[in-house]
Amino acid sequence: GRKRSQVHGFTLGRIEAVHNHHQQQAFITSWRNMEEQLEHGSPCFVTSLLDRSGEKSSVLERLAQRFHGSAQGQRCRLMLSFTGCSHSEVYPICRSGFQLLNYADNGFFGKGLYSTTYAEYACRYATGELKRQPNEPNEAGEYVLVV
């Protein structure tokens, strides 16, 4: 039988790996560009955010603890993150990557793609709970997380 893992009411029942050569090449190019920027002392993203309360600094410190180590000589480090979405949204994501959306607000850290380091939070997006618009599971009762 299949081994199932349950976290806070959500069960991981299946993992499906998708390999997209074009997305892989885009990732490698982006990684190399960031390495170059860091080598020359330039930041990869804007760190001068309006933070009167210190909340954003606190969140960034907590996020820094979730990075995985980098290989010898590399400056960029990886962070495993999750995005919950509907079944209809996952195929375009796997085919073309995430879309750059311009939101009405600038978000907590500015405009950009948002994901989470907490699988349970992404699961709640996958079910539609946090969007207040339910997503339907597939025939097997499964929802989608992109890692």
Check if the beta carbon of residue 68 is closer than 8 Å to that of residue 79.
yes
pLDDT digits (tens, 9 = 90+) for 73-89: 678 888 888 999 999 99
Tell me which H or E stretch contains 84.
Answer: strand 83-85
Q: Where are the alpha helices (DSSP H) in 40-128?
A: 55-64, 87-96, 119-126
Residue 97 has pLDDT above 90, yes or no: no
The C-alpha atoms of residue 97 and residue 90 are separated, in whole angstroms, by: 9
- pLDDT above 70 covers what percent of the chain? 78
pTM of the model: 0.72
For residue 117, the 8-state DSSP code is: S
